[in-house]
Structure 1
Amino acid sequence: MSHKKSIARELVSTALLSSAGTAGLVSAHHYYRRRTNPQARLSDYVFGALGALNFAVKSKRALAKNMVKDALVVNAISNEHVTTWLPRPIAWVSGVAAIPKLVALDDNEAQDFGVVGIDSQRQLVWQTTMPERVHDIVVQPNPTPNQDDAAKRHVVVMGRRPSERFWVLDSASGQVLHSIKAASNRHFYGHACFSLDGQSLYVSENDTADLIGKIGIYNAKNNYQKTGEIDAHGIGPHELIMHPKGKMLIIANGGIKTEQASREELNLDTMKPALTYLDRETGKLLAQITPPHNQMSIRHLDIHHDGTVMIGVQFQGEKHLNLPLVLTHKFGDDALLPLTMPNNNWHMFHHYIASVAVDSQNDLLCVTSPIGGVAAVFDLTSRALIDAISLPDCAGAATVVDDSANFIVSDGQGLLTTISVDLAKQSLSTDNSSQRMSFDNHLQDVS
């Protein structure tokens, strides 16, 4: 009996110590966030945990119901990939970590990394396991209005830098069609973009011999065989996008030399970031604009329909410095122009912008910071911040293609949060849906 009491006391003591430790970590993290984000609340953590728990209870019933109603399909592609899907159209795609197996209702069965297709109701349509962590996901353009053609488009999934692989998936089902390995002395930087006709894929790469940035060119019509490469005219090319007119390739040259095995940053004092414009066919350098500080690493991009580039910066300098992290540029201008923040409070983002997403129709821009735990929306007409909302560990951002909201933001706690903007009142409203998974860096709309 005494032995049982001793075990019980140990269990109680362990539980109390674990609870105290968790409370301490949450309190410390919350205090740190409050210093730069006064809107942060302790209830954010509670709501996140309760939302995940509530979904875990509901999801078993919902998945079981969907399996009967929609005929869930399971396809084991190989030892590296298992795809499960329901026959519904998708609205967004995202990389995820620690995803449960959709076909199994056992909470203990999970995969570490994967990709998911999400419908307009923010519910999972398909998911595919991945052998490593992924970063950006690129959707092949649909140059024709035919819906059948749209359903056959590809989704390119980039491994997280410095990965040597990317995968091509079927957009309707999530099935893996191709697995592409980097050429000798090359690794990928986690981003890619298609030509407007969807026939060529451009991938940011690193020459591992001399650490110079390259842009690899892959033929989507020929099983994504590499057909050539052009110079990125900089070090550490990260996100790249196509200009709306289709001829210019726009590159975020982050400027950071990275050791492949350790991801160690080798040149922070001498880094030279730049926004770079290239002729996508010839590789000719058309323009290159540097930020006002050499440690403002240009990382993530989006582009307005009028050709204005939206730029997200990750500052690599001294933490006390307060520099703009969201800028814009239009080809032909001499400088990058910062958006404006109340009281110049760029510290809100903790020097880190993860994603930028532009709503061209309403002239709005959404940016996220997982370190700052905030998503912010700017009015591009006034170039001023409308508001920022507290979303711990948020990273992915994309537009909403219907009129229900302007943006959707994903986070590491499993929330998909829609953000609606009232332009007249200059205010934001939100609504979230929870999934049993941790969403990764980027979220892309299928439009």
Structure 2
Amino acid sequence: MATRRAFLSGLAALALPKPGWAAVGSPHCLAAGKTAERYVLHGLSADGHSLFAIDLPGRGHAAAAHPHRPLAVAFARRPGTFAIVLDCMTGAEQYQLTPPAGRQFNGHGVFSADGRVLYTSEVIAETSQGRIGIWEAEDFQRVGEWSSGGIGPHDLKRQADGGLIVANGGIATDPADRSKLNIATMRPNLTRLSPAGEITAQAELPPALWQNSIRHLALAPDGTVAFAMQWEGDPAEPVPLLGLWQIGTPPQLCPPPEAEAFRMQGYAGSVAISGSGQIALTSPRGGVVMIHAQNGAHLATHARADVCGVTALGSGFLLSDGSGALWSLEDQQLSPLTVGDTHWDNHIVPLA
């Protein structure tokens, strides 16, 4: 009878619904930061309030949010090494991901739509050749890997059909200290991987812009890819840092007026697309956020020191800065939401 009771108890446990994000307050997004001497990952509401904060072992960069369960995978800021699975209900570290020997995580990851698979951006340490790690998302065992299609992949996004868009930044780095090794010969690209991991499309920048490292991505409902870049060339050149890509066509570059381009100081930190189709591009180095129309035309530039994190908030945006403030940007009005003692890091990761 004891065995039968245990069996029935196990069946009952399997039948119970697993908790979803509503169990932790239905956060709008995740963001890493530093509070005093603690590195933390926060779940944020749409009005900028923290619903939970979980300690991290070091400075965080981005995170991957499970689509259904209150689980997050937090990735270290380079050259950090951790990628940890966090239970956002209890704050417990459930798993620590370890790439194969000779691999390094590269700051970003994304779950499949059904939540069964986690994809991570990685490099072969000695060569910086890109890999996409594949992990089953029940007990987070590694089950395979794909080529990213280039050197130094960073951000990756999941398309509606389950394929992936990868930002291959083009920069080879020293495996020990991540110093840049190939600035004179770098060649970034955008790569589209099918749900089976096959490279089905790639796009490169014009040769004069090969030193424009493609770093971060945002996807529009119509499949357009917005990509943010960081210029490794002559700082006196006002190059475009935003591009748009429709798969099957060359990428479209979106230069702002020259004076506005110089305000970015060659560095775009994050990119997002709002519900109305506008595009936000941030520069913590320049202390500005640029707004572009759906077609890439420059609309406005707003000043805010050390602004970097951005995600859609209805028809506008939610932004974070390194001084502890969260902001809303709606109808070209930048308004404070909250100010606290957490100094926000680079990215805001939406749950949807």
1:220 partnered with 2:137? yes
Figure out how many residues of one structure are paired with residues of the other and give that number. 328
Tell me by how many angstroms 1:338 deviates.
1.5
2:329 aligns with 419
2:276 aligns with 362
- Structure 2, unaligned stretches of length 5 or more? 1-22
Secondary structure at the counterpart of residue 150 of structure 2: coil
1:29-68, Cα deviation, whole Å (9 max, x unpaired)? xxxxxxxxxxxxxxxxxxxxxxxxxxxxxxxxxxxxxxxx
Relative to structure 1, is the Cα distance of residues 87 and 380 closer, same or farther in structure 2, using a 3 angstrom cutoff?
A: closer
Select which of 328, 332, 353 maps to 2:244. Answer: 328
Q: Distance in 2 between matches of 1:374 and 1:210?
A: 34
2:189 aligns with 274
Select which of 265, 271, 285 maps to 1:350. Answer: 265
Select which of 128, 132, 150 maps to 2:54. Answer: 128
Q: Distance in 2 between matches of 1:340 and 1:304?
A: 19
Select which of 138, 141, 155 maps to 2:67. Answer: 141
Superposed CA RMSD: 1.8
Tell me by how many angstroms 1:172 deviates.
4.3
Q: Which has the higher helix share?
A: 1
Tell me by how many angstroms 1:165 deviates.
2.2
Select which of 152, 161, 165 maps to 1:250. Answer: 165
Q: Distance in 1 between matches of 2:279 and 2:168?
A: 21
1:179 partnered with 2:96? yes
Relative to structure 1, is the Cα distance of residues 252 and 177 closer, same or farther in structure 2, using a 3 angstrom cutoff?
A: same
1:20 aligns with none
Relative to structure 1, is the Cα distance of residues 340 and 266 closer, same or farther in structure 2, using a 3 angstrom cutoff?
A: closer
Select which of 338, 341, 344 maps to 1:433. Answer: 338
Tell me by how many angstroms 1:344 deviates.
6.6
Q: Distance in 2 between matches of 1:371 and 1:251?
A: 24
TM-score normalised to structure 2 length: 0.88
Correspondence list, 1:276-315, <5 A: 276-281=191-196, 283-292=197-206, 293-315=209-231
TM-score normalised to structure 1 length: 0.70
1:377 aligns with 291
Tell me by how many angstroms 1:90 deviates.
2.0
1:114-147, Cα deviation, whole Å (9 max, x unpaired)? 21112233222211111111111121224xxxxx
Q: Letter of the 1:258 partner, please give it.
A: T
Tell me by how many angstroms 1:287 deviates.
1.4
- Structure 1, unaligned stretches of length 5 or more? 1-85, 100-109, 143-151, 422-426
1:36 aligns with none
Contact 1:165 1:182 survives alignment (8 Å)? no
1:96 partnered with 2:33? yes
Q: Letter of the 2:201 partner, please give it.
A: A
Tell me by how many angstroms 1:238 deviates.
0.5
Tell me by how many angstroms 1:388 deviates.
1.4
Select which of 260, 282, 286 maps to 2:175. Answer: 260
Q: Letter of the 1:139 partner, please give it.
A: A
Task: Indicate the percent of aligned positions where both proteins have the same amino acid.
Answer: 31
Q: Distance in 2 between matches of 1:269 and 1:216?
A: 28
Q: Letter of the 2:335 partner, please give it.
A: T
Q: Distance in 1 between matches of 2:247 and 2:25?
A: 40
Contact 1:309 1:330 survives alignment (8 Å)? yes
Looking at CA atoms only, which structure, 1 or 2, has the larger radius of gyration?
1
Q: Distance in 1 between matches of 2:327 and 2:146?
A: 38
Q: Distance in 2 between matches of 1:202 and 1:409?
A: 26
Q: Distance in 1 between matches of 2:255 and 2:261?
A: 9
Q: Distance in 1 between matches of 2:217 and 2:77?
A: 17
Tell me by how many angstroms 1:231 deviates.
1.0
Q: Which has the higher strand share?
A: 2
